[in-house]
Structure 1
Amino acid sequence: MANDYKDTLFLPKTDFPMRANLSQREPEFLKFWYDMDLYGELKKKNKDKPSFILHDGPPYANASIHIGTATNKILKDFVVKYKWQRGYFAPYVPGYDTHGLPIELKVLKEQNLDKDEINPVELRKKCAAYARSFADVQTEQFKRLGVIGDWGHPYMTLIPAYEATQLEGFAKMVDKGYVYKGRKAIYWCTDCQTALAAAEIEYGDETSPSIFVAYKYLEAAKVFPELEGKDVDVIIWTTTPWTLPASMAVAVHPRYEYGFYQVGDKVYLIACGLKAEVERATQLPFGEPILICRGERLEKTLALHPFYDRKVPFVLADYVTLDAGTGCVHTAPGHGTEDYETGVKYGIDIYNPVDETGHYYKDTPIFGGMSLAEGEKKVFELLNESKLLLGKLKITHSYPHCWRCKKPVIFRATDQWFVSVADFRDKALECIDEVKWVPDWGKDRITNMVRDRSDWCISRQ
């Protein structure tokens, strides 16, 4: 086909060598292709040949294309053109994603709108108009790149027929019981003020405080009579001090050894395997333990919150490690996935004192109305006053960020809608096995994503 069509379809006749004046000549090539309807001619020539269909994930229609978008489209265009020339019927129908926060955020910012004041229907109309305008802009830009396709009839996710098909698919999921509403600790972006799915999270290094805090162990003597009359504290560890107002439990590993260490007139409880770490962080001289037990013996006994009149139980959790900290982990079911699962297991309140903007709710004792940064400062102030802050370090670790605004996210328990991946995981994994993946590692990536995920957060604010 390439030889048959070289002079009549793909290139206009020219006396100029291809390597010269391309910036001037390329528009002429493109005009030639569109004037003679190259895409239509290709469809006519190969209409009865075997089909090759490229399913192309649509770009967001909220800005001009960038180098990543261009590279994506050009590489896919190579494939489609190659298939045409190999004799396949290879129609390419481009599309545009016209829904979602990226478009809404652009409209709010560029038109200087307050999302809390504008009528939602009016905002959606503005978003639709904005998306359509940039779909037109991107179409011309993709055509300028030489991408061949049915540019006169792209699909758009705001088209009613497209939305109806989505709703039909969603209805089937509801009928099968895959969709449910639940209160869970999910990724939350306080800048975009919305929930995020796991696939919308990017990881980057963040520096966080690593703090060691004393909780009074109220029931030490109840479990260990030999500690009768002693002042016993458990040293907890956290890298998110702002979550301490929501501290509802202390997690320990059931099989680790925990030691009670006499330091002056105090007795401190930590994991034996982290003694050196705690000594370094607190500058306290830990000697030999006066008593050792496994974590499982601590289960359901009570400690006291450092600045609230709140009793917090010891709970068992296999995710507690000896990599860092004290082996006694502050647990806030409203602010962490594993914490949430532990809270459900033990029937602990899934308490979240933080609103969608990243401020404590006004009725939160001590912290009401404060931002998280202000709350963290207040936490340190209270702990220093009570002399319960035993150590403070800085650590750099990989932390989740929002893929849109690139800012760190938090975990926040809210009412959301979920799809239960667990209900169809086995079938999905079977389907993955039936697909040929290029490159091969793509199969491992999607397999791990499906196998390790119990549910998928589908609601957005």
Structure 2
Amino acid sequence: MSKSMGNVIAPQKVSDTLGADILRLWAAATDYSGELSISDEILKRLVDAYRRIRNTLRFLLANTSDFDATNAMLPVDNWLEIDRYALALTRALQDGARADYDRYEFHRVVQALQTFCSEDLGGFYLDILKDRLYTTAPQSLARRSAQSALWHITQAFVRLLAPITSFTAEEVWAVLSGDEDDSVMFQQWHELPEQPGEAELLAKWAIVREVRNDVTKALEARREAGEIGAALQAGVEIRCAGDKFAALSELGDDLKFVFICSATTLIESAEESVTATPLAHAKCERCWHVREDVGADPAHPGLCGRCVSNLHGDGEVRTHA
């Protein structure tokens, strides 16, 4: 980038057209120890990254809008396992980002925040969480566990964003605090609740995510072949052994929620494979899972058993996802 060569972009133009936070994001994402580069293509990538961050924040705020942290917060011991895993991921993000801030390595903070948004949250945790947030009873332990985790994630995430995308962070903080005159800049780093065994939890769910990638590929192959229209129209059979089998077998029936399909079969076998198969059962009008018990209750012919239970009974029991 050289002014004499005319290949510069005026900062004011970037701020006026794309917003001040995009300019700030570019400055933070650039490794100032080397050559500083800026172009329309670089700015386009940053706009996409910012949009992903903003959409993640919208999801977090929307799904904690009815959550009273003072009265509804569950202790971590009562959270579902995947929520405790998300807490462990958030702690790792916060610890790493704080260290990078202290070293003035802002580009590493931006990279970590982007990865957290796109891979850990959007590409995994939040995608799995939607079923629980949207189908379980509003005050159920399963939903309160999810919202407890989301509340802590939001509190930590907005503080980590504040030094970089300060205007966006202030928007979010005004919603969280309920006071437009309050500022996120007056806050300390969020104190995440402690939990034992986070290293083991991270290792276990790394295995689960590895298998989930294979499951996603198998489901996508069925979709591309025109055999299914959505992942929930299929069941999945997983054959594996060792650490993979141990990690997956602990999840029990919750495994289908992790893989976002309607049924899972886990078989211990030295020859590993993942097979997706279209299911012929009816689709529940409420949760969209394809289940054999859809219509089993004459009073609710379009619903599956778990939705009937969530709406009119004691609610389904979940322990992991």
TM-score, length-scaled by structure 2 = 0.23
Structure of greater Rg: 1
- Normalising by structure 1, report the TM-score: 0.18
Structure with bigger helix share is 2
